Amino acid sequence: IENVHLRQIIWEIKKDARRTHFDSDILNNRFLLHKLLLLHQLETGTEYVQGMNEILATLIDVVGTTPDGRTEP
């Protein structure tokens, strides 16, 4: 990757995604990583900041969980 700033953002996102803990499995971490990278690539004018991973992880856990507590793939 040529752009140093982009490399730094990707490194931050990967680092934060790795240390985000889910009750379910590693697939949610990969999903989180992909969604954070996608959010950055959409160029919405919002820079990635530490903590976005926790907000998105909470949404993934809530939306991806059935009423009986099981995680949907």
Residue 68 in this model has a pLDDT that exceeds 80: no
Predicted confidence at residue 5, as pLDDT, reads 80
Q: How far apart are CA 62 and CA 58, in angstroms?
A: 6
Distances (CA, A) of 4 to 20, 29, 45, 53: 25, 25, 18, 22
Q: What is the mean pLDDT of residues 53-73?
A: 71
CA gap 40, 56 in Å, rounded: 13
| 3-55 pLDDT, tens digit each | 888 888 888 888 888 877 766 566 677 788 888 888 877 876 777 888 888 88
Q: pTM of the prediction?
A: 0.65
